[in-house]
Structure 1
Amino acid sequence: MDIDGPTTRLRAVHGSPADPAGEEPTAPIPVVTSRADRDGDGDGEAEPAAPAPRRGRRGAVLLLAVAVLLVALLGGAAYLYRSLTAAPDFEGAGEGDVIVQVAGGDSTAAIGRTLESAGVVASVQAFLRAAEQDDRILGVQPGSYQMRSRMSGAAAVERLLDPQARVGQLEIRGGVQLDDTSAPDGTVAPGVLTLISRATCATLDGAESCVSVDDLRAAMAGTDPAELGVPEWAREAVAAADPVRRLEGLLVPGLYEVEPGRSAVEVLQGLLAVSTPRLEESGLLTEAAATGYTPYEVLIISSLVEKEGITPDMPKVARVVYNRLGIGQRLELDSTVNYPLDLQALRTTAEDRGTPGPYNSYATAGLPPTPIAAPGRDALAAALDPEPGPWFFFVRCQTDGTSCFAETFDEHTANVTLARENGAF
């Protein structure tokens, strides 16, 4: 064994042979360094080592506790924030009645703002939150809707999607005249004024409110045409016409929106504001000059074409009208005779044809003073661009409404005989 210096550090060599002095090998001796020795003032006795601190587990527990506390605090703050900032919403299906307008191009948010301003919903956010649950809200069409005050967002969405909520829809079809007409079998077809009156109806707080036909007729007759919105190119003729028929033909076929709650004058103004551009977009103003007639006269001719012919025959019917007007020949159309009589019939009686009047084209040459019905797009196109031909006569000779055209009276007489044989009238 070797002793290295004055310290207590001992080195044992295991498995070495006996030293030369003949001493036996010693057992392994652990190497220990005392704190006193490390400080340089030890007494040679080794002190036991201090146990390592258990900081790892305690730190993990502390971090977990802090995390749980933070989650609790954040959750509470979020709940409090939602409670303080949640969008207000009414409860239930609402009370009372409100008419709201959805404009063309309105987004869902824009509809929500309209509903909020009308007192239908408590907030736009409440409506949008409910709308997110039903994609059909994207298909809501422009128009008037009968809603209720103080509806929940969900109830408002459901109501908007209900077809019964839609009010103010008006459809005018080609060939319909202002007044109701009676057929030979006694059935009555509603006229434009009746259709308008029905479109103005809405139930407000349990009571139905409509603008009557009489109110509409009085507004038409008693209001200056310019104030109603009659276009300038038609005002002179409209002012000279029978006041209760002066708007005939100016409300063209198509779909309209009528806002319930408006006065009779306001309703007519709104309809003319929509119809006039439609008329002018047909080329009436730009193409009428080529026919040799004014736009209003072409409008009258197109109404005659609408009443007298099916669509494929309209360009030829228009040609017959122009050919007769060109030589001063009376038009002799049954539709003009029946117009002031409010009759919807193919034929006329001898008595009616013999009664003079501005609409009796058997007794009076030239055009009637106003259109006799609402002319459709095809009739307007035919009046603006009639088919070339020598025809002066036509008669419905087939049961499907097809007409036979003739240049001479003898040819026409033969066509009339054919029409009777075919049961066309």
Structure 2
Amino acid sequence: MLEPEVKPSPAREIAHKGKGCLAVILALAVLLFGGYFVWDRASTFLAGIGEVPDYAGSGKSAVTVTIPEGASLDDIGAVLIKADVIKSTKAWDAAVQAEPRATSIQPGRYLMRTQIPAVDALNLLINPGESRIRSQFTIQEGLRLSAQVKALVKGTKIKKSAYDKALAKPKSLGLPAYAKNRPEGFLFPDTYELTADATATSTMKQMVTQYNAVTKDIGLVADAKKIKRSPYEVLIVASIIEREVNQKQDRAKVAQVLYNRLDAGMKLGLDSTVIYAENLKTNTTTPQDQASKSPYNTYRYKGLPPGPISAPGKAALEAAANPEKGDWLFFVTVNFKTGETKFATDEAGFLKLKAEFQQYCRDNPGTCDS
């Protein structure tokens, strides 16, 4: 027997529906609050991740910072952090990534301030102005090794004994293989910046490094092969050119004269090699000087001297590696004041040039023997 269906009263049905709506509202409230809580926490966390620890303001106190030779941007950042110039690696990296000139930072000593923004520190290193503590020295072309050392002592304030000690260990200087541990001629003449931690060895190594860079740039080794000479022979010829002439248009011609005489089996007969051999302080030599038994005396012995007689510059090296074509066998600098040099293809022509030079010496007393 079926029981008659009992329908809930309208009031109970409304109450039941009201409870259901309340549950839904409460659930939505929980979800919304929970979502906001998670979002707030996540935002705070992400903001913390994105924050870059950095200083603000114009800094606290003066500090001298040394950027070492060969330092990478990471190395520079570490130096700045250690000196308390900048606050963090993150701040430095952000500044570097935004500045394409960052790689132009030069080694040296800089006057900075502690606790400055990383971008300010980077800008100062790129555009240092008077903030960079400079110490430079210049070694001129054409000096023999002993004269270079004297100039280095004066320019760097490093003791001569330190240079002598460094030269006694030539393997530490980075000489090219064809030098065979002979440093004469390989300390490239140029202007250099002395780093705060420089030593005699590092200073001369810097000069040899420059020699290697310049000769690579001009293709000396390849050019030497083209003219069937060794790189060392080309260096010797360049060292002679540096001592014999100073006019641009004459260097490659003098190189050709030397190669022509060598190929013809003639003695070079150069005053410059005798001056080197006897360490003379004159521009010309006497018959007594030319009687020297030194292997560097090209009046006595055929061929090139055993090694360079000076440290040549780039122009002399280029000329020695690229002689100007010609059949000259003689050259004479006929005027020491102007450096004018003339060339001849035979002995008769040479004697005329020699007479011109002798007349110049008579007209200018004291010029040719000092």
Q: Which of 230, 233, 248 in structure 1 is aligned with 2:178?
A: 233
Whether contact under 8 Å (1:252, 1:279) holds in the other structure is no
Superimposed CA distance per residue, residues 233-252 of structure 1 (whole angstroms, 9 cap, x where no aligned partner): 222xx4xxxxxxx3121123
Which residue of 1 is the match for residue 233 of structure 2?
297
Change (3 A) 1:260 1:321: same
**Residue 141 (structure 1) shift:** 5.7
In structure 2, distance between residues paired with 1:218 and 1:351: 35
Structure 2, unmatched stretches of 5+, are: 1-52, 96-100
1:169–1:257 CA contact under 8 A, matched in 2: yes
Instruction: Using structure 1 for the length normalisation, give the TM-score.
Output: 0.59
Question: What displacement does 1:86 show?
Answer: 6.6
1:73-123 CA-to-partner distances (Å, cap 9, x unmatched) read: xxxxxxxxxxxx77267965536x5533376996xxx79725523416253
Counterpart for residue 59 of structure 1: none
Q: What displacement does 1:395 show?
A: 1.0
Query: Which amino acid is the alignment partner of residue 342 of structure 2?
Result: C
**Partner SS state of residue 205, structure 2:** helix
Q: Which deviations, in whole Å up to 9, do the C-alpha atoms of 1:214-263 show, x marking residues without a partner?
A: 2112211x21x44432112222xx4xxxxxxx312112334444433243
Name the CA distance, whole Å, in 2 between partners of 1:333 and 1:120. 61
Counterpart of 2:297? 360
Would you say 1:412 and 2:350 are equivalent positions? yes
* Cα gap change, 1:316 to 1:292, in 2 (>3 Å): same
Name the aligned partner's letter for residue 141 of structure 2: G
Which region of structure 1 is more displaced relative to structure 2, 390-399 or 111-120? 111-120
Aligned length: 301
CA distance in 1, matches of 2:69, 2:226: 42
Amino acid in the other structure paired with 2:55: A
- Alignment of structure 1 residues 180-259 onto 2, 5 Å: 180=147, 191=148, 193-197=149-153, 201=156, 210-220=157-167, 222-223=168-169, 225-235=170-180, 238=181, 246-259=182-195
For structure 1, list consecutive stretches of 5 or more residues without a partner in the other structure.
1-84, 132-136, 181-190, 202-209, 239-245
Q: 2:85–2:121: 8 Å Cα contact kept in structure 1? A: no
Alignment pair present for 1:173 and 2:140: yes
Contact 1:249 1:371 in 2 (8 A): yes
Task: Give deviations 1:284-338, integer Å, cap 9, x for gaps.
Answer: 2112123222111111011111211222111211111112212322212111122
Distance 2:173 2:103 in 1: 33
Pair 1:277–1:140, CA change in 2 (3 A): closer
Greater alpha carbon shift after TM alignment, 140-149 vs 261-270: 140-149
Structure 1 residues 197 and 166: CA distance shift in structure 2, 3 A: farther
Is 404-413 or 167-176 further displaced after alignment?
167-176
Query: What's the CA shift string for 1:343-370, capped at 9, x where partnerless?
Result: 4542123432222212222222221121
Q: Counterparts of 1:390-405 in structure 2 under 5 Å?
A: 390-398=327-335, 399-405=337-343
Report if the CA contact (8 A) 1:88-1:122 is conserved. Answer: no
1:22-61 to structure 2, matched below 5 A, reads none
What's the Cα RMSD here? 3.8
Q: Is the 8 A contact 1:324 1:392 kept in 2?
A: yes
SS in 2 for 1:285: helix
Check if 1:313 corresponds to 2:250: yes
Q: Does 1:265 align with 2:201?
A: yes
CA distance in 1, matches of 2:280, 2:57: 56
- Over 3 Å counting, the alpha-carbon distance change for 1:421 and 1:294 in structure 2 is same
The structure whose residues are more often helix, as a share, is 2
Within 5 Å, give how 1:304-343 maps onto structure 2: 304-309=240-245, 310-343=247-280
| Corresponding residue SS for 1:339 | helix
Secondary structure at the counterpart of residue 397 of structure 1 = strand
Give the Cα separation in 1 of the matches to 2:211 and 2:331: 31
The aligned residue for residue 378 of structure 1 is 315
How far 1:162 sits from its partner (Å)?
5.0
**CA radius of gyration, larger in:** 1
Note the C-alpha offset of 1:140: 7.7
Alpha-carbon spacing, 1:141–1:349, altered in 2? closer, same or farther (3 Å): farther
Q: Which residue of 2 aligns with 1:16?
A: none
**Which residue number in structure 2 is paired with residue 54 of structure 1?**
none
More relative contact order, 1 or 2 (CA 8 Å, 6+ apart): 2
Distance 1:407 1:120, change over 3 A: farther
- Identical aligned residues as a percent: 28
TM-score of the superposed pair, with normalisation by structure 2 = 0.67
The alignment partner of 1:179 has SS state of helix
Distance 1:353 1:416, change over 3 A: same
State how far apart, in whole Å, the 2-side matches of 1:409 and 1:394 are.
11
Q: Quick one: distance in 2 between partners of 1:337 and 1:274? A: 28
Going from structure 1 to structure 2, the CA distance change for 1:198 and 1:147 (only over 3 Å counts) comes to: farther
Structure 1 contact 93–152 (Cα < 8 Å) conserved:
no
The alignment status of 1:277 with 2:229, answered yes or no, reads no
1:87 counterpart residue number = 55
Which whole-Å deviations, capped at 9, do the CAs of 1:175-206 have from their partners, x for residues lacking one? 233222xxxxxxxxxx2x2444455x4xxxxx
2:55–2:87 Cα contact (<8 Å) kept: yes
Relative to structure 1, the CA distance from residue 158 to residue 117 in structure 2 (aligned partners, 3 Å threshold; closer, same or farther) is closer
Question: Partners of 1:111 and 1:344 in 2: how far apart?
Answer: 49
Aligned in 2, Cα 1:156/1:333: closer, same or farther, shift over 3 Å? same
